[in-house]
Amino acid sequence: MQGVADTLGVDRKALHHYVHGREGLMELLAEDVFLTRIAALEIPPDAPWPDACRTFAEGMRQSLVASGALVEHFRTLSRATLGAVRPAEVVLERLLAGGVDEVTAGRTLLLLTTIATGFAREEVAAAGAGGHPQVAQFRGMLRETGATELSVLRRLDGSGFDAYGDAQFAFDVDAVIAAVEARLAEVETGVAD
């Protein structure tokens, strides 16, 4: 904190008035990187809602991954900006235009945000030296079990399956879209409440 205060040319006490400790500073840095990236996200206002959802989720993911190790310090935004909120508004508009009710649209947006945030954190962890720590732990567990145990998990691991790559992210987002499409189909057929 003293180094930051010196660089800014302010008293350390003044800095502490606005930023509460190292963690607060890290959160502000993570938020700044995110806001810079997400403000550049363009979702066409006439995009079909599934495309808008995919674009939003990928934009969130990339905006968070761009912060690297700072992603672990990302929390909910302390300062709402038009640039950060506009992509969310477009997604909600597209969902509503596609026949999704407001509550389901809001829940869909939140789920996409949760997936993108969690995935970005895992992706950054996986990019670290030696790969994702949970993968190493999992493989260690496999080595400690009998060769005939957990055969499906062994085959999956041996196949090159990447739990933190683009294919997994697309699968996660497509699962949300499929759930919304199923809900829309239920509404159209009168099955939903």
**What is residue 42's predicted lDDT score, i.e. its pLDDT?**
92
Q: What is the pLDDT of residues 64-75, one digit of tens each?
A: 888 877 777 676
Q: What is the pLDDT of residues 88-112, one digit of tens each?
A: 999 999 999 999 999 999 999 999 9
Residue 20 host element (H or E): none
Residue 118 host element (H or E): helix 102-127
191 alpha-carbon distance from chain centroid? 32
Predicted confidence band at 192 (pLDDT cuts at 50, 70, 90)? low
10 Å CB burial of residue 21 (0-12, 13-18, 19+) is: exposed
* Calpha distance 83→62 (Å, rounded): 15
